[in-house]
Amino acid sequence: MDYKLVAIDLDGTLLDPDLNISSRNLEVIKAAIEKDVIITLSTGRMFAAALPFATQLQLDVPLITCNGASVICAQTKKIYYEKSLPNELILSVLKQAKAHHLEVSLYTTDDIYVEDLAHNAHIHERMDHAQVKKANLSAIAKRLPVIKILFSSSDLHMHAEEFYFEFGQKCTFYFSLPWFVEIVAKGVNKGEALKEVANKFNIDQKEIIAIGDNFNDLSMIEYAGLGVAMGNAPDDLKSQADYVTHSYDDDGVAHVIEKFILN
């Protein structure tokens, strides 16, 4: 099969724990691009947080961000696709989060808003490459399109089930880190966003490779002609992939591209 498009997750897949791309991964990805294979990033991060890695790879393609809630071109910043959360839902989530004393962040296309800068600001600055803004979140929800809600707590597992029971039919939940839950609009996932990118380039489903390490990658792994799980992925994800590659610390992305594209 001549694969024409590769969608790669960032954290736990392309990046190491220090948020670096290995020299081998860089070299192999650039070799694939020279063969006219389209490489894109597919991440739960917002666009601003994905952009430095796209720039390092010299990508000039739409990037899948916020777990598929937005698809934005790395070079032109053109928005190809974006789906925001319903205002009423956001206000309900904020009300319940406040009752449980959870820390909440609202993501728009370009910015992250919190009510207390002491909560998660340093994490956002490191992970999202974004300057967090302090604001009344209910006012932001009424004024701006919100594409992702993140809430966190050291005892998140105590609240996650209740939140899912209350809102699970109205939106999509993703558990990213053990103390983070991310909410995007219902029907939003990396697989649907990957379909948008493929359609833009007239690429058939069977000509796509998708590589990821966690359950927010499952939809694109299932959609792609070749769905790949990282060696460091959970066993349940591996069992649903077409191929299991090496772990991130053994350049699993490079292994896939070498095996199925360069060779």
Each domain of the chain, given as residue ranges in start order, spans: 5-82+188-262, 87-185
* pLDDT score at 35: 96
pLDDT at 191 over 90: yes
pLDDT at 206 over 90: yes
Q: Which CATH superfamily is domain 5-82+188-262 in?
A: HAD superfamily/HAD-like (3.40.50.1000)
Give residue 122's pLDDT band: very low, low, confident or very high (50, 70, 90).
Answer: low
Instruction: Please name which of 97, 101, 99, 64 lies closest in space to residue 83, comparing C-alpha atoms.
Output: 64
**Whole-number Å distance between alpha carbons of 169 and 263:** 44
Other C-beta atoms lying within 10 Å of the C-beta of residue 5: 23
**Whole-number Å distance between alpha carbons of 207 and 190:** 17
Query: What Rg, from alpha-carbon coordinates, does the chain have?
Result: 18
Which of 89-93, 151-155, 176-180, 211-215 bottoms out in mean pLDDT, i.e. has the lowest?
176-180
If DSSP codes are grouped into helix, strand and coil, which group holds residue 27? helix
Q: What is the mean pLDDT of the chain?
A: 91
Looking at the domain covering 87-185, what would its CATH class be?
alpha beta
Residue linked to tokens 């498009």: 5
pLDDT at 176 over 70: no
Among residues 9, 128, 213, 217, which one is catalytic?
Answer: 9
* pLDDT score at 198: 97
Known catalytic residue: 9?
Answer: yes
Give residue 165's pLDDT band: very low, low, confident or very high (50, 70, 90).
Answer: confident
pLDDT at 157 over 80: no
